[in-house]
Structure 1
Amino acid sequence: MTLTAPPTTATHPLSRLSAEEITAARDVVVAAGLHKESSKFVYVGLEEPHKRDVLAWSPGQPVERRARVLLLDRATGQGRDVTVSLTAGSVVRDVEINGVADGQVPILDAEFEAIEPILAADERWVAAMAKRGLDVANVRAVPLSAGSYFPDEFGDRVVRVLGFHQADESDLPWAHPVDGVVAYVDITRGVTTAVHDHFDLPVPAERADLDQATHPHPVRDLKPIEITQPEGPSFTVDDDVVRWAGWEFRVGFDVREGLTLHQLSIDGRSVVYRASISEMVVPYADPSPVRFWQNYFDTGEYLFARYTNSLELGCDCLGEIHYFDATIADEDGAPRVLRNAICLHEEDYGVGWKHTDLFNGMVETRRSRRLVISFFTTIGNYDYGFYWYLYTDGTIQLESKATGIVFTSSYRGEEHPYATEIAPGLGAPFHQHLFSARLDMAVDGERNAVHEVDAVRVPVSDTNPYGNAFTRRSTPITRESEAARVADGTVGRVWHVLNPERTNRLGQPVGYALHPENLPLMLADESSSIHQRATFGTKSLWVTQYDPAERYAAGDFVNQHPGAAGLPAFVQADRPLSGPDGQGADVVLWHTFGLTHFPRPEDWPVMPTDYAGFTLKPVGFFDRNPALGVPRSTSSHCAHE
């Protein structure tokens, strides 16, 4: 059945889905008979057109609008992957998802909310709590993605559940893990399939209230800081297009990826076609029978951007702020507005460049400034902020901020060396936070080449008699089979993305360099399930040839997927990344970065923000320092002769 589509308000092929378009997508799915009384909408997002179509489009031309819709029939556990033409008002693609081979669609909030009643009806769970002197009504059940471990679960929608005691409404349950017990729940059938009571450990008693009585802490006497821009901000926003200090880009938002940046350029020259966080995984290190399975893909399993915070002036962002609301679909397919989901503002960033010269008396200083575009999301115990920074010197930076509450256990002593004691009897298991940034590069055009660049020692020789020489080695990456690379801080390894068809005034190819932070990659054993499911996290860099269907580093359906999806599958094609004469290709960089967290007592009861990220720096992209054009400071504290 075809519906008459409502007039679209989209002004660009990459315009974010509107509330009207989300409603239209739901109506098309229902009219096509794909939605049952027991069905839920798991995901609704813009199906972006192919890059060539976007780049060929001109204002005023028709905009083809499509939405991707994931459905779940809660009665059967069957998932569907549907593409809807909003322009034509029809379904153009409908695929049933094979729960064994393909994995499961992400977990619904409605499924999480059903867990406590299911467990309260299970005698084994009630008995395990009573054995510890706990009333099941005061135990918060925390359902977590199950991974892929036991053949008898394959094809079923399963979660694993840990318990946390909550004495009263204001008590923080994370302070009181009920360790030693884990429940397995089939969320389609609504039954507990197993309760494993492996060992009986004391439930930590100390509360996590942030007051002086519970956690004495010195008071810091700090005066207020006010950020003012009396002439207003230097940026402009027009129909989601931001312009600032020569930079221009389009803001996007997706319930799986969160904030996305599109068609990022400076001085009219393209740098990145699309930038996003395509996946993140949090693998835990505790091998105990209660917790060996703890590995969460917060994007692919939970759609972490649906938990985006509403940001508030003076708390999350300072200064002259522009907020973007985000519109997503709820589980009934109706539009839901996330107010103030994205924050845009400017920040002073210290000295940008400076010189006081001995010979000509020059005294010049220019301050650096950066444009910040960010969002924050809360997934259970952790809070994550993602901050994209654009600088006046042409630098691009991504910073992930991790804060919130560490996931806890009972502390079992030094004989169990996989956790830190962070409060009396309270443990925090070791874990990692690994992110995959998908960077669809377009450095001064769509045909780019990637080179791995290392610092190289030069041995003593006739040309280096004193041994002081060192140089650099640039190795082109020519095929996908050789493009899975590992960072090496000992040689200062970076990756240059060059455009062989464009040169600067010195005849050098223009480029940008990806600078990694050289932190640990996936630490789980190669034979482990999580290694197979999150293979992207085993390499610092992957490079692929552009394919619009290859959007997620761990594949489309991560929940309970057996493994080898995403990047390891993408590179099996071994597509060329450059031609025989060195010309470029349409390349996508996938960069793994993140934190390895050995929790400290200082991370309790709330974790100070920790940081991870990467930097893209221009290398020959400009003819000279692009921050020469930054004006002198007009502050009254800055004196000029």
Structure 2
Amino acid sequence: MFVPYADPRMPYARKAAFDLGNNGAGINANNLQLGCDCLGHIRYFDGWHTTSSGDPLQIPNAICCHEVDDGILWKHTNFRTGNAVVTRSRVLILQTIITVSNYEYIFAFHFGQDASLHYEVRATGIVSTVPIGIGDRVAFGTVVSPGVLAPYHQHLFSLRIDPAIAGYENSLLIEESHPMPVQDPKVHNPFGVGYTTETQFVENESGHDLDHTVNRVFKIVNEDVINPVTGGPVGYKLSPFYSQLLLAHPSSYHAKRSEFAAHAVWVTRYHDDELFASGQHTMQSQGGQGIASWIRERQEKKEATSVRNKDMVIWHTFGSTHNPRVEDWPVMPCEKMQVGLKPVNFFTANPAIDVAVSTQDRNQSVLVNDSATATKGHCK
């Protein structure tokens, strides 16, 4: 994760934290508290870190595992009989929290009963501030208290996805939805309501951007494994978090040190030593490290750059352009960001169809009526 700040004055212009690399996410992990950071039936896992002398360091309760109710999973009401079938969703969560100076970051994997996987990031804590004269205003920050300025900044994450969809050799498919032509004698669309999808495989290592105007979807598929229902390849699709990319100028060290922030989606061939989107030593970097440089160097050396039907890696850039509010002071409410991976023609039916339907005997909900008395409700 990269947190570039937008205060152009010295020395603040140098403020650019690579919080998950330079500060170390693991060593900053919180000791999670029972009944506070996680609720319900909880299993905790300790974390282990290595000190500078090589000794193991135990971090108690660094990760928690618990379930939460996530609303309705699926429902249908028979309009002829009025009978409804409702299944509620339970989500298994693996969560850890780190404190990096002024900020807390909450990272949670959400495993759904519909075979979906979501990765949620929440930012909270205290916004970084600098002094400002009473009554002064600037264009690149918010006065959150008299004499206290919270500069604008961004939180940019690069999520590394190493897929193995029915095997290690996968392809990236880009799908877009476009309206069908009208008044074209070759196309039957007399009412102008039809639309179709256009698909294209990504052949080589490259960067790509999101486009909601054509519902651009990135699918990770296995071309060698065919779904018996659709006749097409099995896969999972990326449900991205739409967000603004890096605002710093390409000539800035902010941009040179965060090549991943130039595109929302990257695809590269798998390499053992390419684990960090900005390279090994971000804060000391002069640029020339990271995803774009890896691709360029392989192209210049005439090395293989094909990613179709290969062991590949997908990188998704997402985050938050945080222009602080007064409501973020003195401690900010959580800012939520979520990325998903959802099956697309991977199964032959709804994978959650066998999840037990909801019943009042099990959920024991309570009805509160106008007379201030409580009665137990019931499901049809």
Q: TM-score, normalised by structure 1?
A: 0.54
Q: Which contiguous aligned blocks of 4+ residues in structure 1 show a shift greater than 3 angstroms?
A: 359-362, 411-415, 636-641
1:219-258 Cα offsets, whole Å, 9 max, x none, are xxxxxxxxxxxxxxxxxxxxxxxxxxxxxxxxxxxxxxxx
Deviation at 1:361, TM superposition (A): 5.3
Distance 2:9 2:109 in 1: 38
**Residues in 1 aligned to 2:128 and 2:335: alpha-carbon distance in whole angstroms:** 15
Secondary structure of 2:30 counterpart: coil
Question: 2:157 is paired with a residue of what secondary structure?
Answer: strand
Partner residue of 1:416 out of 116, 123, 138: 138
Q: Please tell me whether the aligned partners of residues 267 and 313 of structure 2 are also in contact (alpha carbons under 8 angstroms).
A: yes
Determine whether 1:490 maps to 2:213.
yes
Q: Structure 1: how far apart are the matches of 2:176 and 2:81?
A: 37
Give the root-mean-square deviation of aligned CA atoms: 1.5
Shift in Å, 1:518? 1.4
Between the aligned partners of 2:108 and 2:292, the Cα distance in structure 1 is 28
Q: C-alpha distance in 1, partners of 2:123/2:284?
A: 25
| Counterpart secondary structure, 2:27 | helix
Question: 1:593-604 alignment to 2 at 5 Å?
Answer: 593-604=318-329
Distance of aligned partners of 1:568 and 1:365 in 2 relative to their CA distance in 1, 3 Å threshold: same
Shift of 1:310: 0.3
Separation in structure 2 between the aligned mates of residue 378 and residue 604 of structure 1, nearest angstrom: 17
The residue number in structure 2 matching 1:373 is 94
Instruction: Kindly provide the amino acid, as one letter, of the partner of residue 224 in structure 2.
Output: E
Query: How many Å separate the matches in 2 of 1:296 and 1:383?
Result: 14
Alignment-mate amino acid for residue 297 of structure 1: F
The corresponding residue for 2:60 is: 339
Q: Contact 2:176–2:214 (CA<8 Å) still a contact in 1?
A: yes
Of the candidates 589, 613, 628, which is equivalent to residue 353 of structure 2?
628
Partner Cα separation in structure 1 for residue 197 and residue 149 of structure 2? 46
CA distance in 1, matches of 2:53, 2:189: 71
Residue 368 of structure 2: aligned partner: none
SS of corresponding position for 2:292: helix
> Match for 1:349 among 64, 67, 70?
70
Counterpart in 1 of 2:330? 605
Letter in 1 for 2:355: V
SS in 1 for 2:353: helix
Offset from partner CA, 1:524-565 (integer Å, 9 cap, x none): 111111111101011101101111111110011223111120
**Identity over aligned residues, as a percent?**
39
Report the alpha carbon displacement of residue 360 of structure 1 after superposing the two structures with TM.
5.8
Secondary structure at the counterpart of residue 569 of structure 1: helix
Query: What does 1:77-476 align with in structure 2 at a 5 Å threshold?
Result: 280-359=1-80, 362-411=83-132, 416-462=138-184, 463-476=188-201
Letter in 2 for 1:577: V
Partner AA of 1:611 in structure 2: K
Q: Residue in 2 aligned with 1:93?
A: none
Q: Provide the C-alpha distance between the structure 2 equivalents of 1:442 and 1:545, rounded to a whole number of angstroms.
A: 13
How far apart are the structure 1 equivalents of 2:270 and 2:70?
35
Distance in 1 (alpha carbons) for counterparts of 2:78 and 2:232: 30
Q: Which amino acid aligns with 2:271?
A: D
CA distance in 2, matches of 1:360, 1:585: 52
Work out which structure has the larger RCO, using CA pairs closer than 8 Å and 6 or more positions apart in sequence.
2
How far residue 328 of structure 1 moved from its aligned partner, in angstroms, is 0.9
Q: Is the 8 A contact 1:411 1:420 kept in 2?
A: no
User: Hey, what does 1:576 align to over in structure 2?
Assistant: 306
The C-alpha deviation readout for 1:461-503, integer Å capped at 9, x for no partner, is: 24223222222221211100xx201112222222000111112
TM-score, scaled relative to structure 2: 0.90
Structure 1 residue 505, shift from structure 2 partner: 2.1
User: How many corresponding residue pairs?
Assistant: 355
Is contact 2:257-2:283 (8 Å) kept? no
> Which of 252, 264, 285 is the aligned partner of 1:540?
264
1:300 CA displacement: 2.2
Task: Give unmatched runs, 5+ long, in structure 1.
Answer: 1-279, 579-583
Asked whether the 8 Å contact 2:63–2:94 carries over to 1, the reply is yes
